[in-house]
Amino acid sequence: MLRVVTGFTPLVAQWYKSTHPSQERLYEYLDWIKSSVGPVPLDIGPLYLHLEVDVEKKERLVKGYDLENFLTPLFSSRCLGSDCFVLVSAEKRVGGGSSVRIGRAEQLRSAPQPVGWSYFGWSATSAVKWRERLRQVLSTELAGPVLEGLSEVRIAWRCSRRRSWVNLWKATGDAMGPILGEYPHSRNTSPRDDRIVSQEFHLNSEEMGNALEVGIWWRLRIDRAATDLVQLR
């Protein structure tokens, strides 16, 4: 492990104009994270980042605290950038404080066989409307929403290194309604991804033009917290 930063409250992505108070608070937070982490070493190989988010209240594990929204701002040009990271993960918990850890990522010689995980793989040959096509394929090939409690998700992409893989995070998550279920009465499809309490993003870079491969693993989090909260919506 190369860096550990504690003693902060993570903030989520904002889409307001730059002068909006919420956006200004986010900028201050990102500047603080960047300063606290210090220079990221670029000469030791690919890196990982893990974010622990203390949501303080149990009900926040289920609704309104989307892990991808906490992660994405950290990899903006204002903060850490994404060029040297190949593994990014986050977890929600109650108590213990929030933290961010950065270290050297090691590639496994063979992929482990996850026990209890469901898997779906998909390939796109074009960058045009791939998110919509992914959701359509998931809707066709899956019987219906399979996760009704706290959830864990892993997503891996194989794509060109020239592609900004951070931009793939939200787009892929937005297509996962057939896995996670969707909130009703939403203008656009809105997956229930705020029930994800453990999230991993993996990048496998390869020169493949506009083509893209996506692997998605998911399972129900079975522990005491999940049992206590499974009825909360």
Per the structure, how many domains does the chain have? 2
What's the pLDDT score for residue 23?
95
Same domain, 131 and 33: no
Q: Are 157 and 212 in contact (CB under 8 A)?
A: yes
Tell whether 133 is covered by a domain.
yes
For residue 169, the model assigns a pLDDT of 96
> How do residues 12-65 score in pLDDT, each as one tens digit?
999 899 999 999 999 999 999 999 999 988 788 899 999 999 999 999 998 889
Task: Confirm whether 112 is domain-assigned.
Answer: no
How high is the pLDDT of residue 155?
97
What is the Rg, in whole angstroms, of the alpha carbon atoms belonging to the chain?
A: 18
Q: Tell me the DSSP string of 148-206.
A: -SSEEEEEEEEE-TTS-THHHHHHHHHT-HHHH-B-TT-SS--B-GGGEEEEEEEEEE-
Q: What pLDDT, in 10s, does the model give residues 33-43?
A: 999 999 988 78
Same domain, 51 and 142: no
In the predicted model, residues of the chain with pLDDT beneath 50 are 224-233
Helix or strand holding residue 71 (H, E): helix 67-71
**185 occurs within a structural domain:** yes
DSSP state of 73: G
Q: Pick from 104, 127, 153: which residue ends a domain?
A: 104
Note the residue count of the chain.
233
What pLDDT is recorded for position 228?
46
Residue 177 lies in a domain: yes
CA distance 172 to 169: 6
What is the structure's pLDDT at 226? 43
pLDDT of residue 230: 39
> Do residues 137 and 86 both lie within one domain?
no
What pLDDT score does 197 carry?
Answer: 96
Q: Are residues 122 and 222 in the same domain?
A: yes
The phi-psi region of residue 32 (left if phi > 0; otherwise alpha if psi is between -120 and 50; otherwise beta) is alpha
Any idea what the CATH number is for the domain that residue 215 is in?
A: 3.30.1330.20
Is the same domain home to 89 and 146? Answer: no
The whole-angstrom separation of Cα 165 and Cα 163 is 6
Q: The domain containing residue 162 runs over which residues?
A: 118-229
Domain annotation covers residue 52: yes
pLDDT at 116: 84
